[in-house]
């Protein structure tokens, strides 16, 4: 009587063994391939970055100094990255609208901000309810350049030097005014720093941008303004306005004949404005590295450097880490100026 349990012949058993071995080998291969290709999605995206056009948000109106500089940078940087960079102007509320928009965008490297110290150090000094955090809301990519701030006068004012400026204003306390390109902007802070150093009393007139302030200066509606070197150079070349002094510690190579306030008897004044490119916080390190290298190469490009210089910018790349340090270093200084001059936007 046969047992209910039966065994396959030796040849059949060998075939079954080979089949099982092949099956397990196939499964092992599939598992290995799965492990190889199951990298995190963000890592895969970072490796392919950029795979589509980028957007560079400029929180100033079209045609202004930052807009012009931004377009020069975007054109070359897009070539470095192999994808076009589209400019999007989101102006208003002292750069708050554009900066707030970028801070809330996906941290994938496709939405970037190009702005000045107004966004990162001035606004936090005068506003307690910003829709973004200047330190925790962004990953700085780097600084592309700097430009000094300059005290200007119209041609009708009999002033050629800082001493003459001080004597002229002191002779008629409260009779004069100076314009800035907006309340709470870097030009406003520079103006108040000058007044604090000299002890002068001059009425501040905030304009909605550099262009209208410059128009009124040339037309004689306002005797003085504080503006950037970038904005002043084209008008200085026409001879319609004159430069009194620059706010940086050293003379600008773009205006070597304009003295500093420090050498004019007011040491300790060293103010400039800088262009920072930043992304929303949480950028993948590989994406951040690609963007930083592309910005560095852009600023180093001779043609781009010449274009930036022609617009009054001193091209000089600084890393994202250096930009972050600069922001944290200047924040307390801006808050001190705001407190002494009672500048607030709340």
Q: Map out the domains of the chain with their CATH numbers.
A: 52-146+273-341 (3.40.190.150), 148-246 (3.40.190.10)
- Residue scoring higher pLDDT (294 or 62): 294
For residue 328, give the nearest of 184, 136, 65 by alpha carbon.
136
Return the pLDDT at 44: 56
Which range, of 22-26, 98-102, 262-266, 282-286, averages the lowest pLDDT? Answer: 22-26
Burial environment of residue 319 by CB neighbours within 10 A (0 to 12, 13 to 18, 19 or more): middle
- What is the mean pLDDT of the segment spanning 220-236? 93
State mean pLDDT over 334-342: 89
Cα separation values, 57 from 61, 85, 291, 330, 345, Å: 11, 10, 15, 23, 23
């Amino acid at each position: 009587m046969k047992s209910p349990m039966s065994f396959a012949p030796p040849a059949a058993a060998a075939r079954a063994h080979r089949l099982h071995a092949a099956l397990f080998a196939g499964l092992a291969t599939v598992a290995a391939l799965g492990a190889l290709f199951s990298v995190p999605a963000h890592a895969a995206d970072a490796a392919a970055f950029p795979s589509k056009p980028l957007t560079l948000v400029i929180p100033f109106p079209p045609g202004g100094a930052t807009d012009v500089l931004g377009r020069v940078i975007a054109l070359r940087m897009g070539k470095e990255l192999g994808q076009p960079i589209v400019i999007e102007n989101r102006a208003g509320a002292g750069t708050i609208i554009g900066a707030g928009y970028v801070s809330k965008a996906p941290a994938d490297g496709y939405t970037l901000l190009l702005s000045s110290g107004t966004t990162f150090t001035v606004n936090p000094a005068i506003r307690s309810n910003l829709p973004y955090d200047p330190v925790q809301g962004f990953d700085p990519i780097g600084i592309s350049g700097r430009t000094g701030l300059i005290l200007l006068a119209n041609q009708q004012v009999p002033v050629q030097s800082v001493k003459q400026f001080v004597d002229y204003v002191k002779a008629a306390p409260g009779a004069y005014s100076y314009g800035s390109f907006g309340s709470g902007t870097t030009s406003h802070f520079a103006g108040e720093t000058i007044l604090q150093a000299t002890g002068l009393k001059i009425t501040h007139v905030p304009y909605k941008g550099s262009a209208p302030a410059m128009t009124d200066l040339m037309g004689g509606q306002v005797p003085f303004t504080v503006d950037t070197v970038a904005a002043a150079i084209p008008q200085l070349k026409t001879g319609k306005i004159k430069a009194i002094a620059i706010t940086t510690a050293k003379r600008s190579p773009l205006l070597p004949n304009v003295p500093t306030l420090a050498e004019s008897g007011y040491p300790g004044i060293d103010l400039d404005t800088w262009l920072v490119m930043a992304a929303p916080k949480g950028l993948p390190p590989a994406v951040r590295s690609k963007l930083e290298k592309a910005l560095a190469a852009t600023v180093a490009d001779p043609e781009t450097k010449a274009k930036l210089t022609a617009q009054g910018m001193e091209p000089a790349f600084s890393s994202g880490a250096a930009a972050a340090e600069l922001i944290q270093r200047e924040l307390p200084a801006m808050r001190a100026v705001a407190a002494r001059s009672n500048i607030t936007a709340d």
